[in-house]
């Protein structure tokens, strides 16, 4: 199944089901969300459910109850959490600033449109915020010395968006498996802010921000290290396919949407990155792929005789292994 529009949502009434069986998939050139609505009034019910740009490599189920509540399940890469769309400025916990009038809870993602500021006050976010897509402003730690995420976030700051540090000591702490990606035109309103891996009450690694604008990526790896890049970079940390969100740190997988200004791919040691799911062509702008010592990059699709095509110029840096797994081309 593919979504070929340039915008908008997939709108479903209560009582609907959306199922993708093993071997099936969903794809789109833009990030797509499902909006539940009342067919009698046309009004939205609850927050958005993000499908993203790709669901593949497993099963996916979305069920809408008669009251409009949503339950999701499955094993597919790309499976998202409930996404709350901000429609006004205010605190994260203020229900009035969110579409549908419900404040984020459980495991969730948020989307902040241009012109809107969402503030996370205090010293700690104990809620499980997964993905945070920022075209407006995300302000952290107002009134506190430092700010700590207790669950690993994936923060994406788009053109015109700003990640703002409001702590007094300019320290933001993250657990393992967190990632911040500042896209071209996005900003980090916090030169001099220290980003730390903070696990079990111990600081594992630190990085000081020296630039106020993107592109920039900072990944907090499970080995306790911080990896930074002056580019938008997806970091393959689990063996898997190029198209599966679970292959990449924080589920931050490359896509036409994210990589419209170019992306890099970093494959860390011990990981095998497959391109089988691309079906012989990489048709969005990946500018570089770096394969670390002990890592493997598999090019092509097993059994295919059509070879593999890069649609954009690319730099391949192979410190580990690269193999061609197609049958020809």
Q: Please say if the pLDDT value at position 6 is more than 80.
A: no
Same domain (yes/no): 189, 309: no
Is residue 220 a part of any domain in this protein? yes
- Asked which of 41, 74, 107 is the last residue of a domain, the reply is 74
Bigger pLDDT: 49 or 18? 18
Q: Please say if the pLDDT value at position 77 is more than 70.
A: no
- Asked which of 229, 264, 296 is the last residue of a domain, the reply is 229
Predicted pLDDT of residue 250: 92
Average pLDDT of the residues of the chain: 88
- Per-residue CA distances from 255 to 3, 51, 89, 96, 281 (Å): 14, 13, 29, 32, 13
Q: Please say if the pLDDT value at position 246 is more than 70.
A: yes
Same domain (yes/no): 105, 216: yes
Q: Which tokens sit at 304?
A: 């295919």
Partnered with residue 228 across adjacent β-strands are 218
Is residue 80 a part of any domain in this protein? no
- Torsion on CA atoms 186, 139, 130, 178, rounded to nearest 10: 70
Exposure of 201 by Cβ count < 10 A (0-12 exposed, 13-18 middle, 19+ buried)? exposed
Q: Please say if the pLDDT value at position 243 is more than 90.
A: no
Predicted pLDDT of residue 79: 44
Same domain (yes/no): 102, 212: yes
Bigger pLDDT: 315 or 100? 315
Same domain (yes/no): 133, 109: yes
Predicted pLDDT of residue 60: 74
State which of 47-51, 76-80, 233-237 shows the largest mean pLDDT.
233-237
Q: What percent of the chain has pLDDT over 70?
A: 92
pTM for this structure? 0.79
Same domain (yes/no): 197, 279: no
Same domain (yes/no): 114, 219: yes
Q: Please say if the pLDDT value at position 329 is more than 70.
A: no
d(CA 290, CA 47): 38
Q: For 136-189, how does the pLDDT look when each residue is reduced to its tens digit (9 = 90+)?
A: 999 999 989 999 999 999 999 999 999 999 999 999 999 999 999 999 999 988
Question: Within 10 A of 273 (CB to CB), how many other CB atoms are there?
Answer: 25
Same domain (yes/no): 187, 236: no
What total of structural domains would you count in the chain?
Answer: 3
Predicted pLDDT of residue 317: 98
Mean pLDDT of 67-86: 67
Mean pLDDT of 111-127: 94
Is residue 119 a part of any domain in this protein? yes
Same domain (yes/no): 100, 43: no
d(CA 105, CA 127): 7
Same domain (yes/no): 24, 141: no
Same domain (yes/no): 236, 194: no
- Asked which of 177, 206, 229 is the last residue of a domain, the reply is 229
- Residue 75 binned pLDDT confidence (cut-offs 50, 70, 90): low
Q: Please say if the pLDDT value at position 100 is more than 50.
A: yes
Mean pLDDT of 17-30: 76
Mean pLDDT of 223-238: 96
Which of 42-51, 111-120, 244-253, 291-300 comes out lowest in average pLDDT? 42-51
Same domain (yes/no): 168, 221: yes
Mean pLDDT of 256-283: 92
Contact 178, 150 (CB under 8 A): no
Same domain (yes/no): 235, 185: no
Mean pLDDT of 46-52: 73
Domain hosting 64: range is: 2-74
């Amino acid at each position: 199944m593919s979504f070929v529009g340039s915008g908008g949502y997939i709108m479903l009434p209560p009582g609907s089901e959306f199922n993708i069986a093993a071997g099936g998939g969903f794809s789109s050139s833009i990030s797509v969300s499902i909006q539940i609505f009342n067919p009698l009034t046309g009004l939205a019910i609850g927050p958005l459910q993000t499908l993203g740009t790709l669901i593949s490599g497993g099963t996916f189920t979305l069920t809408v109850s008669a009251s409009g509540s949503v339950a999701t399940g499955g094993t597919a890469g790309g499976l998202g959490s409930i996404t709350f769309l901000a429609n006004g400025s205010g605190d994260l916990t203020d229900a009035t600033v969110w579409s549908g009038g419900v404040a984020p809870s459980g495991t969730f993602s948020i989307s902040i449109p241009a012109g809107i500021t969402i503030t996370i006050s205090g010293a700690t976010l104990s809620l499980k915020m997964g993905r945070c897509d920022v075209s407006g402003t995300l302000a952290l730690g107002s009134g506190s010395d430092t700010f700590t995420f207790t669950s690993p976030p994936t923060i994406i700051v788009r053109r015109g968006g700003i990640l703002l540090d409001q702590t007094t000591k300019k320290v933001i702490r993250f657990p393992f498996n967190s990632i911040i990606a500042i896209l071209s035109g996005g900003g980090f309103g916090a030169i001099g802010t220290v980003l730390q891996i903070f696990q079990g009450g111990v600081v594992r690694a630190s990085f000081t921000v020296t630039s106020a604008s993107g592109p920039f990526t900072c990944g907090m790896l499970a080995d306790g290290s911080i990896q930074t890049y002056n580019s938008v970079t997806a970091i393959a940390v689990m063996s898997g396919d190029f198209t599966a969100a679970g292959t990449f740190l924080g589920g931050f997988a490359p896509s036409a949407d994210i990589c419209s200004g170019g992306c890099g791919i970093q494959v860390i040691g011990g990981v095998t990155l497959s391109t089988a799911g691309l079906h012989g062509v990489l048709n969005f702008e990946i500018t570089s792929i770096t394969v670390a010592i002990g890592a493997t990059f598999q090019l092509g699709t097993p059994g295919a005789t059509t070879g593999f095509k890069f649609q954009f110029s690319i730099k391949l840096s192979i410190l580990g292994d690269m193999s061609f797994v197609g049958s020809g081309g």
